Structure 1
């Protein structure tokens, strides 16, 4: 026990010294640095709580690295191989109806009856060709599907996040089995294969898979290398794999209902005809889509069109489809449905390879019913392999399912009839697959509970900080210093105790997430205990007017809605309804205002906010579950973005800047640097943002001369680059180096001589007008990566922010007037013009709802298929890391982050500066930031609790898990945006005001 005690002593001494240093450091921080540190601490607590919860909720499936033994003289294959070589053609996003001889009625001229070779050969040679509608397990992203049809395993929800960061497959696969059997495997196409199977190919020709703007480079590269191998110009081979990406890229680029898709499918038809012509008689041809695509060309979710992937198998001489000649299998009307992973055991047996160890697919019976004995042997081979896997997997429920199956089918297995035995084995395999689908997600209830508890502590701590800052008045920094000092001490102490206990009981200190969890719990608890240490209570803050209560009520209703999958699926309408309700509440409050002018202001801006919420809410994309009660308005019928070029440029270039100047004109703040910044530079940049999408549209315009296409692409590229460089370079420099948005007028007498009195125009909104310029810079970035209709939504969102700011300002005036009447009487009232009104949580709630409305209305939903990949190429001609992913993130989360950057405006809008920095701008801004963060933290807590509690719900992976991921990422985005707002926007604004006061005597 001596060593653990020594470790304990060390862990106790070091934190004690660290706490003293930290306390001294915190004591010396400025107020702005204190506010910034406080937000960073909350971000840390949120990160740890989310990591803890996801560690328990989104676990990856258990994979067993065991490899099935290679067939040898002692282990003969159960059925004779039908082919020695194979050509595998993957046409990315090849939906079943693209090759089906039974297209929907009416068929589309753009993608039906174009790639007709599979249907023609199946009709002409039914014994050597067969087409299936294969079900690709969601998430329908390329990396997961490659894993699926090479290993036979099922994906999990969390796998979708690694689609663009794929790592080597460690489990058994068709590729590994082919290499182990000394087969030569050659690959060309999507470079995802090389990430999954490094050092597995005898030759490879990879191409970048993420450049969805490029429709032909990958396909042309595959064609260039594929046919020399078929013609034996590049040596012998056993398996050729070609992964074409053009169909998928056309879908992402313009959608399936365009002539571009028709041309691409015609090209694929020509390629397949040439492959069939040049391959030899002993080669098996397999053509498949890794997944399908939805009506706008995207994928990733689990809708019928996304999971419907084509599968065609063809043999030039050897029969492979015995269904028509066997009574053991009855052919169905139309295309038969199979699981995509059924290809794995079928392909392995047809080539004489061992079935991969982790396979869960069944055989495709048509290929093996040539004789009853062959059918039975093939089915039994799969059953034996699955039995070995589930025995190693060790799940009692699955083992019980298998045992029950053997009892249920015992008579068939013992009957001696091969057909009956084969049916029994296939039914067993199907039931085991169903059991694994239900139980595949392994939850750690402990981590789920701990994550929810820490999230709840984080919400409680944020509320405590909000109340502490609000009720401490001018001494708010003392409370924050005490809270941070206590949090640092408690976090270090809890971590020290945890390390000591771990050293005593395990002789090894805790590591990683456990350490961070201990520190985060100590930090959150310390923040909650800070009021007690200061001998203060916030009980008085728990009571208030209806104005103060309506915000928490809205939050509570929103959070409770996450317990219902229906409300989650319709959340885009729920948040719009809540925002309109809150705006109308302000309209009702207009009746209590003391003056007619204020009543009209509250009434007008309340109605404006409600109308804006309804208007921008008309832009929407629909979840699959919302049909048939939802109509997509964000995209055209063919899946391409709504185009409004004729209204976009005049509106963006002329009307919107005029709205900004009018808003600043109300407070006489359109002065100083504002005219140059807004009317010249900012107007030019947002015009470039609109022009970018004009050229983007022109690229796919049928009336464009093809010879002009390179010019259009070049101009589009440099338009975006100029806009970005101006936003990151000229605009920040101009904003930081110029003065406040003020103008000084000196009065003169009739003789023209100047008097001493001067009038400072814009003084009453010096903080707000200056900070607004910072927000406008952020607007240009989000606008640039947003499609035309989304740009209209962003404009409406920013106008909605102005409406809420004016509502808060009007209600503040009403409060001051009421206070003045109460103090002085109506007859002698002069108005406490230098008085201040503390903002409330209810003031921040409309902005939180507006941020959510903006997210949904800019074409996003809590589903993977709503990601807009076009944004990855704004200003770039190819995929460039890390910029391309960052642009997609900006497109997805930028609208919410933009609203978060507007939060400090609630504290500074129309608030006059005071000498000696006595205006509590920072305190009120921090209070609003904490309130805004509380809203999103509470939503994340509610979504996590619902997902954890309903983890066995039928809709958990379809509804609750995606909504939790949305809430988690949105919370982190909001936290980061608030940190940026305080660290840059508010700091520079306050510095400019202080510099002006120091240099000018007003």
Structure 2
């Protein structure tokens, strides 16, 4: 690429020309973030659309006689036991049987055995995502959830489409609710009485359940029967026990026993005309979590009981209804879809079926005669056909019409019933496959924007790298051209779009999209006109290995198998690229350098392999994966609980001190900062998770639990306060990690001043900043994650030492080559080695490996919700979502913020800030961003190309969402690292250098 002219600065706009180099770097990274944000926004707008909601409402019956079927019951009690998995109430226990959750809640099985005509147990399929808000939408509207809806589980929004609740209100029925406050968010003005309780405090196992018990039994008393027609009680204790300790603990047995007692009391107080429905909104995994699509998460219990009127009668016995065998069981259960509850309850209560319903009536409840069952299935099929016609998707309409037009005239009632149910099933199958209506133009535009953003970052990387000391002139000119030209053109395009559409939103969207596209294109143009003197033949193996690994990683996203096993693949790529460095050891000019490069490379490879020991498995990886991040019961791993305090107390602070001592930098504020303050903080962090485990430890006396809770709460608050207040204060106001020693020359008597650690004053000061970030991420990570984070920090230190050794080797080779006589060495050199793209690739792989080995996967089920309560008793906005986010991507952000450390480690300051450490930091930041932008682009392309693939919503779409979140997080982290971390560091170094020189 041709070097920019000296006039570039004056050619730039005045406001850009007046920016300092640090501000220019921040503007550059911010502009790249803007391009990524727009590209991701456009693509997700086309790919992750929410389900099309049709506002039509089924017309209420003017009088009871208008209903196609007489109501079977006048009232209903709907009890939701959150996360009640099928096997928790099934009489057919899987093998091996668990004493903690099998055979505990026994009332449904007992009544089904003694009163088979009045009591029915089902396995109900809970469509993913298996999060509470989506499931409540499904069991009230009968509609399918969408993939992106899972992100709204923290902030539920009101249901505006037709629903069972709205039909009850239209029929002047009184609906009373108590329990999970998500109901009140979904139906804010639909209840005649409401008793909501906080739904996200998983630390609290009893408050919600006790509140439901307090209000439900008085309402069931005959004296209060006129106060309600439909009663909803939503218990949360089982779900919270699952999140806290998993299903394999005595705590779960106690909670299920309580639910059994509650149900017995409810049944005792029911009258003969009230229908009881008990269900779990979803299941839970073996460690108590939910949100994904595994079999244990989608298998939810459903029990329907009628005390007076019989349910299952002879008319349904001649049909072969679907059955389901729970994993490990030998006998099957009746199987329904959870959304089947909506048309069933509607017809049972004499109400119209909600317009958007896709569920099929449960035939047992209408099996008094074949005529009744045929009427129920026909009304259901006609309602679904109306919805499909209004939805107006050609493929779905054709599929349903094909089934509907098959003649049933003259057929017997049994054939008509089968035909009616087939219509409903075909509609559901096709709409499940459709899932969402893709917008192909938005998808293509998003991919183009993401591709242009990758080209732009590559061009900026090459421009900064090849411009040398004048990198800022290049960036000023590039940004000025992109912002000015892109802004003007986009303003015109946006204005024209707004005029022709008369929609300001379209104009604004067009402006931002056009700006991003044009600016990316302008920034990428230098790639076309790059310096022709550069030849691919001059590229060395060390320079080529980084791009080669990136290409391999990106191409792997085309295979669902590689995506599912990405955690292992990333570890393999990291070890491979590190071992490639071993050949550099053989080429180093000195034995000491060869030994250093060899040991650092082997050390990194060993750490990468050790990190791989911490695993959390996707469902698709079974049976070839064993979870080690959690213990056998879903709680903390024993090795994590034991090793985390030892690593915090003995291992990690000592390693940091030793590495700093190699460059004489364990001086100044470093000993106090690391050994006295930081060490105490990370020890306190480990104690938090020890107390978290003790709170649910069976050996703890119950009267000590409140004390443990208080100690845990204040440990977290003290650590957060110190990490966000004390440590930054100490770092900002302290000096450099140097030691000034004055000695007198014995011969001359003159005083000499020696400054120890000044050669690494950039690196050592920035390392203290990185330790602040580490302490925060360390707190919100569980014990096993804390051990992994310690390994990550050691890996970062080994890597920067490896890069430094490789730089020394290159400099020495140059010195030997330029010396006057063969084999001679003329002494130290002031030469600086520019970083390469390959230097950033191991850090990118380490960041991804840190994400996977701290207990995360690209699936909802791996989200560690416990982090939301670090320092808080209940869900507290915005802290709880922020803490969960920090737990999820914090390990990755820690590595991202270490990127400038590679550029400044063991680089000696020079007068007038002449060392291009900022240029090298920006160059490495752009390389790091390029890696994540490329794999995000690859993930978007494969998700779009395979959007009808069986695994799209299970594998490809979640990976794209994680890739997009990580890309934006990396962008923001690097802006923060360069502006705050590097900015304060360079300011300290410059002030100290000036004072020492004077």
CA shift at 1:349, angstroms? 0.7
Match for residue 87 of structure 2 among 97, 114, 122: 97
Match for residue 283 of structure 2 among 292, 295, 298: 292
In structure 2, distance between residues paired with 1:163 and 1:137: 15
In structure 2, distance between residues paired with 1:187 and 1:449: 46
Report the 3-state secondary structure (helix = DSSP H, G, I; strand = E; otherwise coil) of the residue aligned with 1:511. Answer: helix
Residue matched to 1:639: 634
CA shift at 1:511, angstroms? 2.4
Q: Does 1:899 align with 2:889?
A: no
Q: How does 1:632-781 map to 2 (within 5 A)?
A: 632-643=627-638, 644-749=640-745, 755-781=750-776
Q: Check the 8 A contact 1:495/1:518 in 2, yes or no.
A: yes
Residue matched to 1:238: 229
Q: Check the 8 A contact 2:130/2:290 in 1, yes or no.
A: yes
In structure 2, distance between residues paired with 1:389 and 1:566: 37
In structure 2, distance between residues paired with 1:607 and 1:141: 44
Match for residue 144 of structure 1 among 134, 142, 151: 134
Q: Does 1:872 align with 2:871?
A: no
CA shift at 1:437, angstroms? 1.1
**CA distance 1:688–1:82, change in 2 (3 Å):** same
Residue matched to 1:369: 367
Match for residue 388 of structure 2 among 387, 390, 397: 390
Q: How does 1:503-518 map to 2 (within 5 A)?
A: 505-506=500-501, 510-518=506-514
> Residues 420-442 of structure 1: CA distance to partner in whole angstroms, max 9, x if unpaired?
11111111211121111112321
CA shift at 1:400, angstroms? 1.1
Between 499-508 and 368-377, the greater mean CA deviation after superposition: 499-508
Match for residue 355 of structure 2 among 357, 363, 366: 357
Residue matched to 1:214: 204
In structure 1, distance between residues paired with 2:798 and 2:33: 29
Q: Check the 8 A contact 1:482/1:530 in 2, yes or no.
A: no
Report the 3-state secondary structure (helix = DSSP H, G, I; strand = E; otherwise coil) of the residue aligned with 2:361. Answer: coil
**CA distance 1:990–1:287, change in 2 (3 Å):** same
> Residues 136-187 of structure 1: CA distance to partner in whole angstroms, max 9, x if unpaired?
0000000110011111111111111111111111111000000000000000
Match for residue 567 of structure 2 among 561, 568, 572: 572
Between 26-35 and 494-503, the greater mean CA deviation after superposition: 494-503
**CA distance 1:66–1:508, change in 2 (3 Å):** closer
Residue matched to 2:161: 171
Q: Check the 8 A contact 2:72/2:348 in 1, yes or no.
A: yes
Q: Check the 8 A contact 2:322/2:336 in 1, yes or no.
A: no
Between 586-595 and 887-896, the greater mean CA deviation after superposition: 586-595
Residue matched to 1:980: 976
Q: Does 1:463 align with 2:461?
A: no
Q: Check the 8 A contact 2:585/2:595 in 1, yes or no.
A: yes
Report the 3-state secondary structure (helix = DSSP H, G, I; strand = E; otherwise coil) of the residue aligned with 1:209. Answer: coil
Between 128-137 and 358-367, the greater mean CA deviation after superposition: 358-367
In structure 2, distance between residues paired with 1:948 and 1:330: 37
Q: How does 1:361-510 map to 2 (within 5 A)?
A: 361-408=359-406, 410=407, 413-502=408-497, 505-506=500-501, 510=506
In structure 2, distance between residues paired with 1:156 and 1:633: 32
Q: How does 1:34-433 map to 2 (within 5 A)?
A: 34-73=24-63, 76-232=66-222, 236-322=227-313, 326-328=317-319, 334-408=332-406, 410=407, 413-433=408-428
> Residues 9-67 of structure 1: CA distance to partner in whole angstroms, max 9, x if unpaired?
xxxxxxxxxx9999211110000000000000000000000000000000111111111
Residue matched to 1:956: 952
In structure 2, distance between residues paired with 1:754 and 1:360: 95
Q: Does 1:786 align with 2:781?
A: yes
In structure 2, distance between residues paired with 1:878 and 1:491: 47
Q: Check the 8 A contact 1:868/1:892 in 2, yes or no.
A: yes
CA shift at 1:763, angstroms? 1.3
**CA distance 1:894–1:419, change in 2 (3 Å):** same
CA shift at 1:216, angstroms? 0.7
CA shift at 1:232, angstroms? 4.6
CA shift at 1:797, angstroms? 0.7
In structure 2, distance between residues paired with 1:538 and 1:62: 55
Using the size of structure 2 for normalisation, the TM-score is 0.96
In structure 2, distance between residues paired with 1:528 and 1:938: 15
Report the 3-state secondary structure (helix = DSSP H, G, I; strand = E; otherwise coil) of the residue aligned with 1:862. Answer: coil
Q: How does 1:824-973 map to 2 (within 5 A)?
A: 824=819, 825-973=821-969
Between 383-392 and 826-835, the greater mean CA deviation after superposition: 826-835
Tell me, which stretches of 5 or more residues in structure 1 are unaligned? 1-18
Q: Check the 8 A contact 2:353/2:383 in 1, yes or no.
A: yes
Residue matched to 2:328: none
Report the 3-state secondary structure (helix = DSSP H, G, I; strand = E; otherwise coil) of the residue aligned with 1:758. Answer: strand
In structure 1, distance between residues paired with 2:423 and 2:996: 86
**CA distance 1:433–1:330, change in 2 (3 Å):** closer
In structure 1, distance between residues paired with 2:311 and 2:977: 65
> Residues 186-216 of structure 1: CA distance to partner in whole angstroms, max 9, x if unpaired?
0001111111111000010111111111111
Q: Check the 8 A contact 1:326/1:370 in 2, yes or no.
A: no
Q: CA RMSD in A?
A: 1.9
Report the 3-state secondary structure (helix = DSSP H, G, I; strand = E; otherwise coil) of the residue aligned with 2:899. Answer: coil
**CA distance 1:170–1:330, change in 2 (3 Å):** closer
Q: Check the 8 A contact 2:316/2:363 in 1, yes or no.
A: no
Q: Check the 8 A contact 2:497/2:507 in 1, yes or no.
A: no
In structure 2, distance between residues paired with 1:395 and 1:759: 79
CA shift at 1:674, angstroms? 0.2
**CA distance 1:266–1:507, change in 2 (3 Å):** closer
In structure 1, distance between residues paired with 2:589 and 2:218: 86
Question: For this pair of structures, how many residues does the alignment match?
Answer: 979
In structure 2, distance between residues paired with 1:718 and 1:326: 61
Q: Does 1:620 align with 2:615?
A: yes
CA shift at 1:648, angstroms? 2.3
> Residues 97-140 of structure 1: CA distance to partner in whole angstroms, max 9, x if unpaired?
00000010121011110000000000010000000000000000
In structure 1, distance between residues paired with 2:223 and 2:935: 62
Residue matched to 2:326: none
CA shift at 1:704, angstroms? 1.0
CA shift at 1:506, angstroms? 4.3
In structure 2, distance between residues paired with 1:54 and 1:720: 36
In structure 2, distance between residues paired with 1:323 and 1:962: 46
Report the 3-state secondary structure (helix = DSSP H, G, I; strand = E; otherwise coil) of the residue aligned with 1:392. Answer: helix
Q: Check the 8 A contact 1:323/1:330 in 2, yes or no.
A: no
CA shift at 1:270, angstroms? 0.5
**CA distance 1:532–1:615, change in 2 (3 Å):** closer
Tell me, which stretches of 5 or more residues in structure 2 are unaligned? 1-8, 324-330
Using the size of structure 1 for normalisation, the TM-score is 0.96
In structure 1, distance between residues paired with 2:600 and 2:510: 49
CA shift at 1:821, angstroms? 1.1
In structure 2, distance between residues paired with 1:536 and 1:566: 41
Residue matched to 1:820: 815
Q: Check the 8 A contact 1:175/1:200 in 2, yes or no.
A: yes
Q: Check the 8 A contact 1:692/1:716 in 2, yes or no.
A: yes
CA shift at 1:581, angstroms? 0.3
In structure 1, distance between residues paired with 2:87 and 2:809: 64
